[in-house]
Structures are given as C-alpha cells and as structure tokens.
Amino acid sequence: MTARWTTANLPDQSGRTVIVTGATSGLGLVTARELARAGALVVLAVRNPGKGERAAATMAGHTEVRRLDLADLASVRAFAAEWTGQLDVLINNAGIMRVPLGRTRDGFELQIGTNHLGPFALTNLLLPRITSRVVTVSSQLHRRARLDLDDLNWERRRYRSLQAYCDSKLANLLFTLELQGRLAQAGRGARAVAAHPGIATTNLASHVGGIRGKLGRAVKHLFNDAERGALPTLYAATQDVPGACYVGPDGPAHLRGYPEIGTPSKTARDPDLARRLWDLSARLTQLVHEDSRRG
C-alpha cells in the first residue's frame, strides 16, 4: 500500500459511474466531489434533491442528482427501478447517528433501518448492474455492538440510541462479509468492501449536545476532518483491495490518518451471524435475490 495515500493518488475514473448516498454533506460530499473531479459520472443519491443540486453545483465534472430516502423502502425500490445501464460502484455512505427512538416508514427502528436495512435493499436491487464493487461505510463503534437479531428493531428492549448506532455499524460489516461470500460463490467479479473514517469531525452527530458535544468540539483537532475522513472510502472504491476488507485510518487507535487495510472485530467476522442477519434482513425488506446461496 502506498504510504500516505491521498486524493492526489486517485486514478482516472473516466468512463465509470458511481452512486454515492448521502452526498450533500460531510464524507459523502467529499467522496462525490473527488470522484467527479477524477472523471467519474457521480450520482448523488439524496433525500433532498434541492440540497443535492446545490452540492453538485460545487463540484467539477459530471454529476446527477436523484432522490433516495433510505428510511422508505418504496423510495429505495423506485430509485432502483429507474436505474438503467451499468453501475460500476455503489457507495453506501448515508447514515444517521444517535437519534431519538423513531421508526422508518416501514416500521423499522430508525438507525438500523436507515443505516442497514435501506442500504441492504438498495444494494440487492441494484446488484445485477454493479460491475466493480459495493463500498459500505461502517465505524469503529461497531466494536461496542450487541446486535440482537431477536429484537433488531428495539421493540422489547429499553432504547439506547448509541447502542442502536453501534449495532447498525456492526450490521454494515456483517452485510459486507456475507455479500462478498455470495458474490464469490456466484462467480461475480464485483467485490464488497467496507471502510470507516476513524473519528471525523462532520455534522453526523451535530445534534448531540451537552458535555459530550462540547468535549468533541474541544478535541476535534485530534481527529480527521471530512477531507481526510473520506480517504478510506475513496481508497476502498478505487484501489485493488480484497473483498470483505475493512479500510480505515492508519493513525493512533485508527481514529485518524491515511488509509490502510485493518481488521474489524471478531464478531464482525462471524460468518454464521452474517448469514443469519442477511436472512432476517431479506425477510424484513421482502427481498430475495438471485445471488442467494443455494442449499
């Protein structure tokens, strides 16, 4: 791996088509901007097309804006149904963090629904068209997860917003692991990979106030900004990395720095848990895909 890999090392992306979800701010905005600058046609898949158009106006290169609400499976299905032609890379970047208990339009807990079930459905619906890879953005907080497949939507437990976020980020990695296995078994050339920004000072948790929010602002100089936080995603999307890898910063505790391939938690590498989560997710989203394992 090249030391201190930056956007200056991005290869020419001309002729490639990339979808970036959540591309109006933070990591998604930087990811979309840099891929467009490198020559890709970048589709900004966003909840608010007006904000998407304003973001696209700041980018050099070829961009499109399309509406996508990952908290609404009807929106996910409509987005996928309207897609024609080949898709080189899907970047599942959009996410929410530590929000109060809420439900998606389909009744899922808001964080698992937006961060996992929506991207799960989107990926499966687009998968026949994806030629290169699926990049899903996770978090080091997956290491604190206690994923409960018997109560994925927090219907019986006392709700804990941070725990729900951690669980959704573990789900991202288990999804990547299982998707890579299915792609390999089907003989597909596409790869599923994951990335994380370390701790990036974006607006993802801007609603978190009090002493924790103040503490975060006080020490933000110790972490990646959005520009550097997007590097692992860009690396995962454009470099020759192995399937099911986990790209993140190379610095202390992997909280900041430049991209390197790391190792997720043992739980995130559990193939049985990954398969069971996949099966549950397929039932909840009412999706059955042609790449499903036989037997």
| Per-residue pLDDT band at 253 (split at 50, 70, 90) | confident
Do strands 246-249 and 130-137 pair parallel, antiparallel, or not at all (unpaired)? unpaired
Average pLDDT over residues 91-112: 98
Catalytic residue among 159, 165, 235, 258: 165
Q: Measuring CA to CA, which residue among 130, 139, 96, 124 is closest to residue 246?
A: 139
9-283, what's its fold?
Answer: Rossmann fold (3.40.50)
Q: Is the pLDDT of residue 220 over 60?
A: no
Helices 161-185 and 118-126 pack at an angle, to 10 degrees, of 20
At residue 255's C-alpha, the angle toward residues 253 and 261, to 5°, is 80
In 15-138, which ranges are E strands? 17-21, 41-46, 62-67, 87-92, 130-137
Residue 10 tokens, joined? 């991005």
- The pLDDT tens digits for 129-145 are 999 999 999 999 999 99
Looking at the predicted structure, is the pLDDT value of residue 208 above 50? no
Q: pLDDT grade, residue 199 (50/70/90)?
A: confident
pTM as predicted: 0.91
pLDDT tens across 51-95, in order?
A: 999 999 999 999 999 999 999 999 999 999 999 999 999 999 999
Amino acid identity of residue 263, one-letter, is T
**Does the active-site annotation cover 159?**
no
| Residue pLDDT, tens place only, 221-235 | 556 788 999 999 999
Question: Which one, of 145, 178, 166, 161, lies nearest residue 273 by Cα?
Answer: 178
Q: How far is residue 293's CA from residue 92's CA, in Å, rounded to a whole number?
A: 23
Q: What is the pLDDT of residue 291?
A: 41
- Cα–Cα distance measured from residue 32 to residue 20, given in angstroms and rounded to the nearest whole number: 6
